[in-house]
Structure 1
């Protein structure tokens, strides 16, 4: 690039190019780094969110060692680095917790991920599942379905308990038959059971 004033055009391409993108956890597999990579940035405007995400991506983020004082309520409630307001004060005042811009100018994100982030997570999860071996993939899908079906199982708890309990004696078998409303055939079944036991 020329030092001539106003001459910002350059004809040659960039001299040094990276062959691979920077990975913040390439040589650092600690729990703290994993936690930072999974950190959800919220209660801030889009610009501040981009700044904090850049700091996390390029390993410049310095987490707080202890909670910080909120500038509004003067309580030690701030647990996220680079924030000046706690979550409750930011939501109450409807301002960005980092730069203090008004809600009319910026959009404050809720703590829940947005639909776009959920779609990105789903795509990433599908890609991860496809990369797993068949055995692990099926085990993972069973595990995920187990969590979904747990609610259904809790609703049908009474039916499941009756299915789990298998009759061990003749009396329990007859009770089971009565519960299943097969009373009209119970006399013939009793005689069959008695003949088998003799």
Structure 2
């Protein structure tokens, strides 16, 4: 290709000498960013939930500095960003009640032979409308799920999550077996001690054997008389030996 027909490459630009110091620069380590990322996403539908997640991911989320005005009741009770109605109106406003009745009464029919799907559909109950678009049912929160059977997420577990659950089950079973074995060993030790005590009780004490048995064991006045008689006998033996000498 001739050199004159070749497309000339543009030179790469350089950073500007004077940068705008007043423009917004994102700081990922700021406390405000940490608070935004830690804030929960509640009372919204699936689509609105994904929108708010996208805003958080790409640092487009702008939190409220003051409570906003609700479009249904007119009070300043909206505390979450991008919500159009307050939390109470998602369940109690006339528009939300009408939508909830429509969603709960007009659910798709389930085949009778599919028991698992039937149970899932019977457990699905909508409790509030989306606080952002007010067009779809909101994802049930933990507080809502406590009122009814928790609905399955429907998300397929990853291999790593499955392995983690299996390891947790194995550790729990191993700890249970170890505890059971320890309890069994303690019971065996107690049985051995009881048997040894029983054997010792069956065999006679060596002191009793030297005395002549438990029947000949003297106590009190009888023991004192026995000692006196023994001393008198010793004295008589000594006197007899002296006379003999």
Q: Same fold (TM over 0.5)?
A: no
TM-score, L = length of structure 2: 0.33
Pick the structure with greater CA Rg: 2
